[in-house]
């Protein structure tokens, strides 16, 4: 839910490129240290991909979670 509330999944899905944690933190206006932990957790669970240390990109699952219908289901079902 943190990824949805902060707009993380949408950011990764719309801008299909490799992101650094600091770049995402700046764009999303969130705390870098917290975001780094969330990104590593999501990568470890196959939600996003860590391409190299500290660099992340969307996967198919990320794209699904970025969709408004999926977001509504996860948040309110």
Under a CB-based contact definition with an 8 Å cutoff, are residues 66 and 10 in contact? Answer: yes
Q: Which residue has the higher pLDDT, 71 or 8?
A: 8
Question: Tokens 């943190």 label which residue?
Answer: 2
List the chain domain ranges: 2-76
CATH class of 2-76: mainly alpha
Closest residue by Cα to residue 10 from 22, 28, 32: 28
Sign of the dihedral through C-alpha 21, 58, 47, 68:
positive
Q: What percent of the chain has pLDDT over 90?
A: 65
Q: What is the pLDDT of residue 1?
A: 60
pTM, two decimal places: 0.85
End-to-end CA distance of the chain: 13
Encoded tokens for 38: 């969330």
Average pLDDT rounded to a whole number, residues 30-44: 96
């Amino acid at each position: 839910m943190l990824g949805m509330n902060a707009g993380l999944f949408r950011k990764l899905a719309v801008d299909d490129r490799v992101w650094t944690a600091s770049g995402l933190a700046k764009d999303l206006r969130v705390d870098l240290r917290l975001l780094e932990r969330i990104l590593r957790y999501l990568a470890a669970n196959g939600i996003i991909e860590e391409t190299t240390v500290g660099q992340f990109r969307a996967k198919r699952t990320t794209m699904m979670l970025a969709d408004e219908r999926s977001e509504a289901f996860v948040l309110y079902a």
